[in-house]
Amino acid sequence: MTGQTFRTHFATRLAPAALAVVVLGGGVSVASVQPADAAPSVAAKAKGKNKSPKTYLKFVKNKKSPTNSKLHLMQIRKGKDKSLVSWRAGSGNGSKDACKSNAGWLPNGSYKIEFRKKNFNGSAIKGYVIKLTDKKCSKGTKRTELFIHSEMKSNGKQGPKKGKDSPWRWEGNHDYKSAGCIKLKPAHIKTLFNRATANGWPKTLKVG
């Protein structure tokens, strides 16, 4: 085989493998070339397939008994909404007037979740909390300082008995009442945090 024949044969065999062949002074230099339209890597494909389904919270009002409503952790899978778990929850002090600040249940609509904490230390609300965005009711009243919370101390434990009712101790079903927020039992809001961590934290709450 002549030198020229060898070079031609060598280049032809390497072409399918996306290799550039350069002839330099009778020698052969080979440099690899990356195809312009290379297929996505296996890792990239796997990352796309393993993307977690979206989740959100849904508060379903009980018109007969506002303090016996339901809070659901929802998941969207293949275009379908599914309730993963739900708990009894209350909103407001029993009033169904969504325009009544610090008393009525939350206005219908969507809320963004601003933050969540396990050790919140507010003046009245402590421990496990999920902070919601402000919301205007149908009459234009702006509802503010909206949370999903319970009754506990900032460390998540129950406070001591303090008179007839302590804001930091869950004492019974009357504690589902609130100043307009959504309230859960202490054990239930802790379970909500665990389930949301396992399934992906929601970014929104839907009320209706």
Specify the pLDDT at position 162.
Answer: 75
Quick: pLDDT tens for 161-196.
877 788 999 999 999 999 999 999 999 999 999 999
How does residue 52 score in pLDDT terms, banded at 50, 70 and 90?
confident
Between the alpha carbon of residue 132 and those of residues 74, 79, 111, 144, the distances in Å are: 17, 25, 6, 9
Q: What is the DSSP letter of 174?
A: G
pLDDT tens sequence across 76-127:
999 999 999 999 999 999 999 999 999 999 999 999 999 999 999 999 999 9
pLDDT of residue 6: 43
Distance between CA 59 and CA 37 in Å, rounded?
Answer: 48
Predicted model pTM: 0.76
Instruction: Please tell me the least confidently modeled range out of 35-44, 59-68, 120-129.
Output: 35-44
Of residues 145, 104, 89, 142, the one with CA closest to residue 122: 145
Ranges 1-10, 16-25, 175-184: which has the least confidence: 16-25
Predicted confidence at residue 7, as pLDDT, reads 46
CATH 2.40.440.10 residue ranges in the chain? 52-207
Mean pLDDT score, 139-144 = 98
Examine the pLDDT at 11 and tell me if it is beyond 50: no
Fold classified for 52-207:
L,D-transpeptidase catalytic domain-like (2.40.440)
Write the pLDDT tens digit of every residue in 148-157.
999 999 999 9
| The pLDDT value given to residue 82 | 97
> What is the overall mean pLDDT for the chain?
84
